[in-house]
Amino acid sequence: MDYRKIYEQWLKDEYIDEKTKEELRALEGREKEIEDRFYKELEFGTAGLRGKLGAGTNRMNVYNISKVTQGLADYIKEKGKEFMDRGVAIAFDCRHFSKEFAKTAALVLNGNGIKAYLFESLRPTPELSFAVRTLNTTAGIVVTASHNPKDYNGYKVYWEDGAQILSSIAEDILKKIYAVESFGSIKSMDEKEAVKKGLLNILGKDMDDKYIEKVKSLSIRDNSEDIDKDIKIVYTPLNGTGNIPVRRVLKERGFTNIIVVPEQENPDPDFTTVGYPNPEDTKAFKYAENLGTEVGAELLIATDPDCDRLAIEVRDKDGNYVPFTGNQTGAILIKYIVEGLKEKGRLPKNAAIVKSIVTGDLGKRIAEESGVKTYEALTGFKNICGRIPDFERTGKAEFIFGYEESIGYVTGTFVRDKDGVSSAMLLCEAAAYYKKQGKTLLDVLNELYKKYGYYREKQISLVLEGVEGKSRIDRMMVEYRKAFPKEINGSRLVKYIDYDERTCYDVENGGKLPVDIPKSNVLRFFLEDGSWYAVRPSGTEPKIKIYIYSIDETLQAADDKIKAIENIVLSKLESVK
């Protein structure tokens, strides 16, 4: 059915409210906008839903939330009464309509006889993962668009292990979603009735207390002889969910100099002071840098709106703030955690770290020196934390830390997703520890480079929106598979991995080996000088991403390698029209 017919169906549907119909009628004459809203249904996958707010099948609204939740409910009901009774935990962030979407989901579940545990107000995403495991619910939902702009929202589904659903579950839920014939067939329940029947349960302080205690249990050093808790730190929650839990855990740990950016302290769905609330973007640190300069802060930390990711900037000798990448922060955390656990006699003999396939290798080098093995997984913490059940079942490893280059980290196993709260605590603890030794985190990073070589990196995203953009991204991946450079800057290609084929190809010897990682549309190329790069479409945004890594004895040489790879790869991709 074409987009026009679906648009007209929405205008006629008795279950669509008049306000939504008014929004749709106002689109007449804007054919491209109508097409973009109705040419497809908002895609549901392992990352759940994410899209722009508004009316339409390709937008985030209560109708699509209801339909997806009905599909999830049907999937749970098929598993039996035990799964229904265990219920679903639900959290939400500070965005427009997040609370409404969360309550809509809860009442649809209730209408299907499934218990819902809904947080009373906004909470960080990692606490949702923790709640799923603590309450032993069948699933979890968090309404968030993470770091996307203000006109976006999202809906992520977690399974009973506390991790986001894997593709096998997502595919089964998707079949149930497709089977929902109309909005009129969706079951829901009145809120008062749901509470009376014990189907709608509200979560609050009790769950917060349990979560914070578990976070504090990750502490490695707490003695004032070991760490300087007077270290001056500026924190910005970027108007999101991190404000209360991050400040609480640091206060309870005894950190006395945590200064919060006042303009970005409280929830703001419009992100007025930052626009694009992604702490990976150094522009998000503008207010923190100004405040840091004013108060003389040694460290700046920022969490994204749902507080699952963390970024930092460190003051240098000239008083300027130097941003760290996710790989650099990950390396610092690995050094601090692994060496600290080893010193305290708490490092498991078979300790393991898991990183994504597009994350750099410096952390791996640091871990190896202490006998800690690094495993790889596909991008996303559903895959990184997805390694934990296998480790527990086989006993081959004990998970201590997981991370990816996009500023996501998790320590321990009580949260099965990236966790900005625990990462903030451990990062501040690390900074306080090294300060006691007369070092900043920048000093520590430079020591690592001198020891292991200069690891450099660059990530490039080509944004291609809409129907045409998606088609072009698909063509880029097809064409790059057919013809990729065999040499860059005098360095030969020695091997490449096609994760869609789950095969590693030895270019020099012509051999090939299977790759023990699930299928995914990712290509990764390794050069003889130790450089490598990867190309993949984003799973949540209209982008094709290029990840470039190099290593050399000098900073300049490593940067030159990055530039050479960037020029060749971009030229090839952009030639695909």
> Which two tokens mark 440?
């900043």
What is the maximum span of the chain, computed from C-alpha positions, in angstroms?
Answer: 72
The answer to whether the beta carbons of residues 270 and 110 sit under 8 Å apart is no
CA angle centred on 464, ends 459 and 467, rounded to 5°: 150
Residues in the chain: 577
Q: Which of 66, 98, 129, 146 is catalytic?
A: 146
The structure tokens 């207390």 sit at 209
For the chain, domain boundaries:
40-203, 209-452, 454-574
What confidence score (pLDDT) does residue 45 get? 80
3-state secondary structure of 258: strand
Are 515 and 502 contacting, i.e. CB atoms less than 8 angstroms apart? yes
Q: What pLDDT score does 499 carry? A: 97
Q: What is the pLDDT of residue 51?
A: 93
Integer Cα distance of 318 and 524 in angstroms: 39
Is 219 annotated in the active site?
A: no
SS3 544: strand
Average pLDDT over residues 408-418: 98
Q: How far apart are CA 338 and CA 369, in angstroms?
A: 10
Residue 41's Cβ-count burial label (10 Å; 0-12, 13-18, 19+) is middle
CATH of domain 40-203: 3.40.120.10
Query: What pLDDT is recorded for position 43?
Result: 86
Class of domain 209-452: alpha beta
Residue 338 has a pLDDT of 98
pLDDT confidence of residue 46 = 75
Closest among 126, 220, 213, 237 to 429, alpha carbons compared? 220
Q: The tokens of 312 are what?
A: 């930092």
Task: List the beta strands (DSSP E) in 87-193.
Answer: 88-92, 116-119, 139-143, 152-159
- The pLDDT, as a whole number, for residue 311 is 98
Whether 209-452 shares its CATH topology with 454-574 is answered no
The hierarchical CATH code for the domain 454-574 is 3.30.310.50
User: Does the model's pTM come out above 0.85?
Assistant: yes
**d(Cα 56, Cα 499) in Å, to the nearest integer?**
34
Tens of pLDDT along 145-180?
988 899 999 999 999 999 999 888 999 999 999 999
In sequence order, what are the residues at sequence separation of 6 or more whose Cβ sits closer than 8 angstroms to the Cβ of residue 279?
147, 238, 285, 302, 303, 304, 309, 310, 311, 407
Share of the chain above pLDDT 90, in %: 95
Residues whose CB is less than 8 angstroms from the CB of residue 167 and which lie 6 or more positions away in sequence, other chains included: 45, 46, 518
Across the range 15-43, mean pLDDT stands at 94
